[in-house]
Chains A and B, each alone.
Chain A
Amino acid sequence: MKPWNISVKNMIRRKGKSLFIISGMIIGTAALVAVITYSDAMTMSITHKMEKYGANIIITPKNDNLELSYGGIALGPVSYRVDEIRESDLKRIDSIKNRMNIAAVGPSVTGVADLNGRRVLLTGLNFDTIHILRPWWEVDGGEFEHGVIIAGSAAAVSLKIKTGDSVAVNGTRMKVKVILGQTGSHDDNMIFTDLKNAQLLLNKKGIVSMVEVAALCTGCPIEDMVVQLSDALPETSVTAIKQVISSRMESMKHIGTLVLGISIVLIVICGLVVTTTMMNSVRERSDEIGIFRAIGFRERDILQMILFEALVLSVIAGLAGYLLGFASAWSGAVYSGGEGIMIHFNPVTVLIAMSVTVATGFAAGIYPAVTASRLDPVEALRHI
């Protein structure tokens, strides 16, 4: 028989007390896990929803434009020099450190073209990334394909074109595949086709006017990415769309602060429950501890026995609390109708839950353990 055998037998004998300590810790741990897991899922959900805002980094050629505006009247830029971006240079984007945070890269070329005898602004896009970079497009015409025209809603009205029409763009006959729904953006006034086709029509083979980048932003270092992209493409100007980024970061910061606050309160409550219950247990066992001390147990032997109990109970509570917390978060996500909230198993949460529970249980057990170890055997037994 070893000292820990006595501890285990004591915990089994005092099932009610042990269960009370464990249940307090289970509730604390479960709440902590549920809050962390649910907020993680919520953050991911919010992030995914925010991704629908489209690109959050814009790469444009460096230029010496001088904006001419006065008194709210914009006269347009005076361009002294405009560098263009070579499409082949865009491969360098794949070499940046945070390339894994890039969801989509959308190069585009824009120029003035002739459509059925009228001057229009034609933009060539990479159709593969349209769903990420322009998720707000309402498309009723099915899949995009090479060599077709997509018309903005206002442009279609102005040009009197409709889906299925054949139009001549810079002398090349093309079919109108899609008329976009109203977006409220510049897109409403433009004509689109695929990038390669536009480069041919505009005589800008291998040239792009602008690159839109959608970065996945669950805590992604977007400012760092801007710097990395600027380094990779020194001939360009890389800008982050601050409003989107800051709103994403602000939301996550608020959620994180809330989770931290709730967690600290839960941990403190959990620790107090353990300390109080274990102190009661030590008082009830003073005879027993007194006899152990009288027959030769040292202070450290008693200390180890009580701390061992705290440790075992904490580990059990940590595991049970994690399972309960995960189940609660899962049912919360399922039954609250939280759209797009997906609960995932996260080993880091297990690690956090176990570490916090065991550390709290252990720390909360220190005071009762020290008190028990310092029990005067004569006092404990009242008389020998």
Chain B
Amino acid sequence: MIKTENIIKKYGSGDSEVIALNGVSLHINEGEFTAVMGESGSGKSTLLSILGAMNSPTSGSVEVNGTDIYKLSKDERSMFRGRELGFVFQSFYLVPYLTLLENVMVPLVITKKTKKEKLEMAEYSLDMVGLGSKSHRLPGEISGGEMERTAIARAIVNRPSLLLADEPTGNLDSKTGKAIMSLFSDFNKTGMTIVMVTHSSEWAGYAGRVIRVADGQIAD
């Protein structure tokens, strides 16, 4: 599913050069729920962005579903992200002027699906996160937990094989965090591969596997 070989990621150059990842090799199987833990600045978010085909490594290779994603052109990589991956961000990043339904539909906008198909898929995703009844509300009219669930609905609307989440519960209270983790567990049970960055051992406990990153390397 995911196979990385000796990823090195450097930012800046000369005296200001920072090595964010220093020779990361890992293998994540299809259907695995993996938590990536580490201190702030350890390189876990950089690892996630590289796995998410958004951040080219300085060296090394990344294969997702058998595709060496950094050998793809920019456009091909964009399409790969839209087709194969789902992203959940800590800060939700919902588009404020679109309704929840429209926000969830955004990844489908650039696909060739019919209007009816797009609508059905978005409604199904919102139902899965329990927000079907609030589909016509704007992000400003719902709670933080509901925003996160909308962001999750958007991430899964394309039925991605790999879901990448960066501290999805970072801005949520414990109760809402648990609800989100339950959702992730449910998705994982359907066969979806999940890689989640978190600080919390509690949330990492929902994952079947925990990878620790320290100083840009896999610690264990």
Binds A, one of B92-100, B182-190, B198-206: B92-100
Minimum CB–CB distance for A7 against chain B, Å: 11
Binds A, one of B30-38, B105-113, B129-137, B172-180: B105-113
Task: Knowing A3-B110, A288-B95, A381-B93, say if A295 contacts B45 (CB, 8 Å).
Answer: no
A384 CA to B90 CA, complexed, in Å = 8
Interfacial chain A residues near B158, Cβ < 8 Å? 296
Per CB-CB distance, the 7 closest pairs between chain A and chain B, nearest first, are A296-B82, A13-B97, A298-B78, A291-B93, A295-B107, A383-B45, A384-B49
A299 CA to B78 CA, complexed, in Å = 8
Interfacial chain A residues near B55, Cβ < 8 Å? 378
Q: Which residue of B lies closest to A14 (CB)?
A: B97
Task: Knowing A1-B102, A6-B106, A298-B110, say if A384 contacts B164 (CB, 8 Å).
Answer: yes
Produce 1/0 per residue, B22-60, CB < 8 A to A.
000000000000000000000001001100101100000
- Residue contact A377 to B154, C-beta cutoff 8 Å: no
Q: Which residue of B lies closest to A301 (CB)?
A: B110
Which residue, of A288, A299, A383, has the highest number of chain B Cβ atoms within 10 A?
A383
Give chain B's interface residues, CB within 8 Å of chain A: 45, 48-49, 52, 54-55, 74-75, 78-79, 81-83, 87, 89-91, 93, 95-98, 102, 105-110, 115, 118, 154, 158, 164, 166
A14 CA to B118 CA, complexed, in Å = 26
Interfacial chain A residues near B110, Cβ < 8 Å? 3, 296-298, 301
Within 8 A of B (CB), among A1-31: 1-3, 5-6, 9-10, 12-14
Chain A residues touching B, majority SS: helix
- Residue contact B78 to A2, C-beta cutoff 8 Å: no
Task: Knowing A2-B109, A384-B45, say if A298 contacts B79 (CB, 8 Å).
Answer: yes
Within 8 A of B (CB), among A270-298: 287-288, 290-298
Task: Knowing A1-B102, A294-B87, say if A383 contacts B166 (CB, 8 Å).
Answer: yes
- Residue contact A299 to B45, C-beta cutoff 8 Å: no
Within 8 A of B (CB), among A294-339: 294-301
Number of A residues near B (Cβ < 8 Å) is: 30
List 22 A-B residue pairs with CB atoms under 8 Å apart, sorted by A's residue number: A1-B105, A1-B106, A1-B118, A3-B110, A5-B102, A9-B102, A10-B97, A14-B97, A291-B89, A291-B106, A294-B52, A294-B81, A295-B87, A295-B107, A296-B107, A297-B78, A297-B82, A297-B110, A298-B75, A298-B110, A381-B93, A384-B45
Interfacial chain B residues near A12, Cβ < 8 Å? 97
Interfacial chain A residues near B48, Cβ < 8 Å? 384
Interfacial chain B residues near A299, Cβ < 8 Å? 74-75, 78
Interfacial chain A residues near B81, Cβ < 8 Å? 294-296
Q: Which of A296, A381, A383 is in CB contact (< 8 Å) with B78?
A: A296
Q: Which residue of A lies closest to B93 (CB)?
A: A291
Q: Which of B52, B78, B95 is in CB contact (< 8 Å) with A6?
A: B95
A135 CA to B135 CA, complexed, in Å = 78
Q: Which of A13, A376, A384 is in CB contact (< 8 Å) with B89?
A: A384
Minimum CB–CB distance for A370 against chain B, Å: 14
- Residue contact A287 to B78, C-beta cutoff 8 Å: no
Interfacial chain A residues near B79, Cβ < 8 Å? 296, 298
A178 CA to B6 CA, complexed, in Å = 111
A13 CA to B94 CA, complexed, in Å = 14
Known contacts A1-B109, A1-B118, A377-B54, then 18 further A-B pairs from the complex at CB < 8 Å, ordered by chain A residue? A1-B115, A9-B97, A13-B97, A294-B54, A295-B107, A296-B81, A296-B83, A296-B107, A296-B158, A297-B109, A298-B75, A298-B78, A298-B110, A376-B54, A383-B45, A384-B52, A384-B54, A384-B87
